[in-house]
Amino acid sequence: MTRDFLPVSRQLSKLSWPSLMIGLVALVLLLLPFVFSNPVLLDLMVLIFVYAGLAQAWNILGGYAGQISLGNAVFFGVGAYTSTALIRDAQIVPWIGGLAGSFLAVILALIIGYPVFRLRGHYFAIATLAIGEIAVAVASDINLIGGASGLTIPFVRDASGRPTDSWLWLQFNQDRLPYYFIAFILMVFCVLVTILLDRTKPGFYLRAIKDDQDAARSLGVHVLRYKQLAFALSAALTALIGTFYAQYILFIDPPSTMGLNLSVLISLIAILGGVGTIWGPIIGAAVLIPLGEVTRAEFGGAGAIELMIYGGLVVLISVVQPSGLMGLGQRIRHRRAPLTEPEARAAAASSSQEKPHATLD
Amino acid sequence: MPPLISVKGLCKSFGGLTAVVDVSFEIQAGEIIGLIGPNGAGKTTLFNCISGFTRPTSGRVEFAGRDITGWLPEEVCHLGLARTFQVVRTFPDMSVLDNVLIGAFARTVSRAEAERGAREVLELTGLASKAGLLGRNITIADKKRLELARALATHPRLLMLDEAMAGLNPAERQAAVELVRSIQAQGVTILMVEHVMQVIMPISKRVMVLNYGRKIAEGAPEIVAHDENVIAAYLGAKYRQQAPSLPGPAA
C-alpha cells in the first residue's frame, strides 16, 4: 500500500511515542552496564529490576483482579527456599530448582486461594497477611531448611578450590554483570506476561471481576477460576524471582524472604506506580527502590526513615492520586489535550448524576 | 414442545420473611412474558433464584431440559440464560465496548471474534457511537441499554430484564421497546419485570402478577388488567377507569 512510500518522519509518527520511549529506555538499560561499571549502581539496578518484577507479578492479582494480597512474599520465599534446598541437599542446579519452586508456589497459591477467594475486599487482604506471618513462623521452625538462622548457598569452586563463576549454578561473584542481565530479562518476562494478559480474555475477565464481581458472574465469568489463574500466575513469577534473589544474595532467611515488610513493599511499589497498568509497577520500582537505598545510606541501616517515607507516600497516594504515577501522567496528558466532543458531553452528563455504586440484594 | 424454562413450586425465605411463595410457571421458546407486581412483591428475588444469585429454599428450576436449581450464575449463563440488574451494574472503569466484550467472551476465547460480536450488539442497541466512552461516563439511559447489550452479547436463549426501562423518558422508553421487540424477533425468549404498564401491556403475550411473593394472576395482558385481584393489589382503582381504553381481547 501507500504506507511504504510515506516519508520516514511520517512512518515514525505512526509509532506512538510511548512505544518509542519504551524501546529507547530498554536500549539504554541494556547498554548501561557497559558505560557505567560502578558496582553500587549495578546493584541498585538489579534491585530495581527485581522489585519491578515482583510488583508486576503482584499487579496481576492486585491490579487487574483487584485482590489486594499482603502475603505475596510467601511465594518469593517458596522460590528462594526450594532452589536453595535443592542445591544444598540434592545438588540440583537452580535452573531446575527455580522451576520446581515456581511449580510449588502455584500449588500453594491454589490451595490458599480456594478458601480465601470466597472472602471479599479487606478480608482477602487480611487473610493473605495472616498467611504470610504463618509462613515466616513455620519456616523459622523447620530445621531442615535452616530454621530461623536461614540458609547459605555454598560458593561454586574450581579445581583449585577458588570461588568461580558458573552459568550452570547461576553464580557470578567475579564478574557480576550476568546478574544484571538475568534480572532485566526476568523483569521483561513479567512485563510480557502482563501485556499478554492485558490483551486477552483472562485480562478482560480480571478487570471485570475487579469492577463488579456479580455483574461479571451474570455474564458467565467463572470468578473463582479466574482469580485462581491470576493468583497462580502471580505466584509463579514471584517464585522465579525468589530463586534469582537467593542466587544473587546467596543467603536467605524467613523474615527477609517471606516477611510482611517485603509483602508490603511489593504492593506499595505497584500502588505508587499505578495498579492495573502495564508500566506502573516498573515506574514505582524506579522511584521507590532508589529512594529506599538513598535514605538507608544517609540515615543508617535501621530503615526507620525509609518506613516513615513509605508510610507518608501511602497516605499521599490515597488522598491525592489513587491511580498512582501512571494516573498522574494520564491526567497531565488529558489536561493538555482537550476532550473530544462526545467525551465532553459524557463528562458533563456524568458529573450531574454521579452516584455511589449499588450492590446486589 | 417442552417449555424453555419451567419453574415449579419455587419458594425463597430470608429468615422469617418469605419473599417468594410456591411460584410455578412455564415459558415457551420465543415468548415475551411480563412479570409485574408492587414493590417488594418478590420479582427480583424470583429473578435471583432463577439466575443463580440466590439458592431457592425449595422448588425446582428447569431450563432447556436441565434441572438448574442451585446452579451458579456463571454456569446458568453458559447454558444460555442471561439477566440484567434492576440497579445498573455497568463496569465503571471499562469502556462501553469492553463492557460488551465481557459478555461476548462467554462464547469464545478469541478477542477478534468477541469484538466482532460485541460491535454487532452495539450496533443493534444503538451504542456504537459510544463504544469508546467509559462505563461511568454515560447517561443512565445508555447504562440501561449497555446492561442489555452486555447480556445479549452472551447469546442467551432466555433474556431476563429486570426493569430495563425504569427511569427512562417516553422517547427513550419507546426506543427500548423497539429494541426488545427486535431482540425477540431474533429468536430470544424474554421475561421482563416492568412497572410501566404502557410498556408491558402491548409488548407481552402473557403477563404474570406477583403480590407478597405469590403469583396472583397469569394470562393475556387485557385479561390480567381486568382482574379484580390485580387491580386491588397493584394497578389501583384509577387503572379500572383507564382499562377500557386498552385493546380488547384478541380475536
Q: What is the pLDDT of residues B98-127, one digit of tens each?
A: 999 999 999 999 999 999 999 999 999 999
Residues on chain A touching B87 (C-beta within 8 angstroms):
358
A211 inside domain: yes
Mean pLDDT throughout A185-207? Answer: 95
Q: Is B51 on the interface with A (CB under 8 A)?
A: yes
Distance from CA of A18 to the nearest CA of B (A): 20
A63 inside domain: yes
State yes or no: pLDDT of A288 exceeds 70: yes
Q: How confident is the model at residue A358 (pLDDT cuts 50, 70, 90)?
A: very low
Q: Is B98 on the interface with A (CB under 8 A)?
A: yes
Q: What is the pLDDT of residues A103-157, one digit of tens each?
A: 999 999 999 999 999 887 788 999 999 999 999 999 999 988 888 889 999 888 8
Q: pLDDT exceeding 70 applies to what percent of chain A?
A: 87
Q: Is B131 on the interface with A (CB under 8 A)?
A: no
Q: Which of B170, B234, B228, B241 is nearest to B34 (CA)?
A: B234
- At B59 the pLDDT is 95
A213 inside domain: yes
Query: Distance between CA B30 and CA B230 in Å, rounded?
Result: 26
Q: Is B149 on the interface with A (CB under 8 A)?
A: no
State yes or no: pLDDT of A352 exceeds 60: no
- At A305 the pLDDT is 76
| Nearest beta carbon to residue B91 from set A215, A220, A346 | A215
Q: Is B78 on the interface with A (CB under 8 A)?
A: yes
Query: Distance between CA A272 and CA A325 in Å, rounded?
Result: 6
Phi/psi-derived region of residue A151, left when phi > 0, alpha when psi is between -120 and 50, beta in every other case: beta
Report DSSP state, residue B137: G
For helices A122-141 and A94-116, angle between their N-to-C axes, nearest 10 degrees: 130
Q: pLDDT exceeding 90 applies to what percent of chain B?
A: 68
Residues on chain B touching A358 (C-beta within 8 angstroms):
87, 89
Residues on chain A touching B154 (C-beta within 8 angstroms):
219-220
Q: Kindly identify which residue of chain A lies nearest to residue B107, measuring between CA atoms.
A: A220
Q: The domain containing residue A205 runs over which residues?
A: 38-154+165-257
Residue of A218, A227, A330 to mutate, interface with B, max B Cβ within 10 Å: A218
State yes or no: pLDDT of B225 exceeds 70: yes
Q: Which of A235, A219, A322 is nearest to A270 (CA)?
A: A322
Q: What is the pLDDT of residues A50-105, one digit of tens each?
A: 999 999 999 999 999 999 999 999 999 999 999 999 999 999 999 999 999 999 99
Q: How confident is the model at residue A15 (pLDDT cuts 50, 70, 90)?
A: low
Distance from CA of A270 to the nearest CA of B (A): 18
Domain count, chain A: 1
| Nearest beta carbon to residue A358 from set B87, B135, B136 | B87
Domain B5-245 class, CATH top level: alpha beta
Interface predicted TM-score of the whole assembly (ipTM), two decimals: 0.90
A113 inside domain: yes
- Burial category of A5 from C-beta neighbours within 10 Å (exposed 0-12, middle 13-18, buried 19 and up): exposed
User: Does B83 sit within 8 Å of A207, measured CB to CB?
Assistant: no
Q: pLDDT exceeding 90 applies to what percent of chain A?
A: 54
A310 inside domain: no
Q: How confident is the model at residue B141 (pLDDT cuts 50, 70, 90)?
A: confident
State yes or no: pLDDT of B137 exceeds 90: yes
**pTM assigned to the model:** 0.87
* Strands B206-211 and B189-193, sheet pairing: unpaired
Q: How confident is the model at residue B245 (pLDDT cuts 50, 70, 90)?
A: very low
- Any idea which of A259-263, A317-321, B72-76 has the lowest mean pLDDT? A317-321
Q: What is the pLDDT of residues B5-56, one digit of tens each?
A: 999 999 999 988 889 999 999 999 999 999 998 888 999 999 999 999 999 9
- At A65 the pLDDT is 94
Residues on chain B touching A349 (C-beta within 8 angstroms):
137-139
Query: Distance between CA A139 and CA A134 in Å, rounded?
Result: 8
The larger pLDDT score, comparing residue A206 to residue A356, is at: A206
A244 inside domain: yes
- H or E element at residue B94: none
**Which residue is listed with cell 447504562?**
B143
- What mean pLDDT, rounded, does chain A reach? 85
A189 inside domain: yes
Q: Is B169 on the interface with A (CB under 8 A)?
A: no
A10 inside domain: no
